[in-house]
């Protein structure tokens, strides 16, 4: 097989795996500490080029996502590698792979999750930020350059949980470090903390009619109104878009100069588009869009 045939074979293989078009995820760390994102593809969907990596403060990573992909992304924190065994572990969000790459393993709760189903029903992307498995880090999703099925970009809602909840987390849910610091490093869901059917929406409580918000899920919902707070929180927590790329940010924070220029709680339709002139310019503009979105999330 000649060089040109090899190139054609590789191209066709990429088309089969990623589809004719793909989505771009831009993952940004605005925390003051290193975050190790983990990525897990859903059953039957194409694997990603990476399943885990490190992001230093202010660092950005761009990932090409296959068409019709579904899965989740989360942040691992307080990670270390044993100097003797080489085993890699994290205090929160650990995927149990003993390595930076998660290689098909999901996050141990508590972990804030960004969940996606791309090119789903009606050609729409479905996405949410979920606290159903608890919380460990602030996180936001900003759609960029997309629209709903009718092409209205304004319906591509910014979502996330931008509040810091490890400190105010109820004592029954709080995850403390081995040093016993008061602030904690994570906040469990009531299901994880107590394991009972009424909190886990299982058994006799396995339907939307029987499983209702609890005082613990309301702690998450009141702090982050657009995030999933328990299993049947779909109505106010799942959002759709079409043909978009997505900016996923850890520790998003509002920019005062941006928020003062916007109407209270209102995002303009063009706020979910960005320049494609260069990767650097796109990232800078995206962070500006994120700042406006974070302010809107705080005012919900």
- Give this prediction's pTM: 0.79
Band (pLDDT 50/70/90 cuts) for residue 151 is low
Number of domains making up the chain:
1
User: Does 71 reside within a domain?
Assistant: yes
User: Does 154 reside within a domain?
Assistant: yes
Per the DSSP assignment, residues forming a β-bridge with 115 are 72, 128
Tell which residue, 296, 222, 283, 275, has the closest CA to residue 249: 283
Residue 294 predicted with pLDDT over 60:
no
Read off the pLDDT of residues 117-127 as tens digits, 9 standing for 90 and up: 999 988 899 99
Give the separation between CA 213 and CA 272, rounded to whole angstroms.
32
Q: Are 22 and 59 in contact (CB under 8 A)?
A: no
Query: Looking at residue 44, which CATH number applies to its domain?
Result: 2.60.110.10
* Residue for token pair 């869009």: 289
User: Does 120 reside within a domain?
Assistant: yes
User: Does 38 reside within a domain?
Assistant: yes
**Higher pLDDT residue, 142 or 148?**
142
Read off the pLDDT of residues 242-283 as tens digits, 9 standing for 90 and up: 989 999 999 997 533 223 223 333 333 333 222 333 333 344
pLDDT of residue 149: 55
Give the separation between CA 136 and CA 165, rounded to whole angstroms.
8
User: What is the full DSSP assignment across 29-87?
Assistant: E-SSS-BEEEEEEPTTSPPPS-SB--B-TT-EEEEEE-TT-EEEEEEEEEEEE-TTT--
Domain containing 112 equals 23-164+226-250
User: Does 8 reside within a domain?
Assistant: no
User: Does 198 reside within a domain?
Assistant: no
User: Does 141 reside within a domain?
Assistant: yes
User: Does 184 reside within a domain?
Assistant: no
């Amino acid at each position: 097989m000649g060089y040109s045939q090899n190139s054609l074979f590789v191209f066709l293989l990429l088309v089969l795996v990623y589809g004719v078009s793909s989505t771009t995820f831009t993952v940004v760390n605005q925390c003051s500490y290193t975050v190790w994102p983990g990525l897990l593809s859903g059953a039957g969907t194409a694997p990603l080029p990476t399943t885990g990596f490190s992001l230093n403060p202010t660092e950005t990573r761009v990932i090409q996502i296959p068409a019709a992909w579904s899965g989740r992304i989360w942040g691992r924190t307080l990670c270390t590698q044993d100097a003797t065994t080489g085993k890699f572990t994290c205090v929160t969000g650990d995927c149990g792979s003993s390595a930076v790459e998660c290689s098909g393993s999901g996050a141990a709760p508590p972990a804030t999750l960004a969940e996606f189903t791309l090119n789903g029903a009606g050609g729409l992307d479905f996405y949410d930020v979920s606290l159903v498995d608890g919380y460990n880090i602030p996180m936001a999703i900003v759609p960029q350059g997309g629209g709903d099925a009718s092409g209205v970009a304004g319906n591509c809602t910014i979502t996330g949980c931008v509040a810091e909840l490890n400190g105010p987390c109820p004592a029954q849910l709080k995850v403390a470090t081995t040093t016993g610091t008061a602030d904690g490093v994570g906040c469990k869901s009531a299901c994880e903390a107590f394991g009972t059917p009424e909190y886990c929406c299982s058994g006799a409580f396995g339907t939307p009619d029987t499983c209702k918000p609890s005082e613990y899920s309301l702690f998450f919902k009141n702090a982050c109104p657009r995030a999933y707070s328990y299993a049947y929180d779909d109505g106010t927590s799942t959002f759709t878009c079409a043909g978009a790329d997505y900016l996923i940010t850890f520790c998003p924070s509002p920019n005062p100069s941006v928020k003062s220029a916007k109407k209270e709680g209102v995002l303009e339709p063009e706020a979910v588009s960005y320049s494609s002139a260069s990767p650097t310019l796109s990232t800078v503009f995206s962070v500006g869009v994120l700042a406006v979105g974070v302010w809107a999330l705080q005012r919900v």
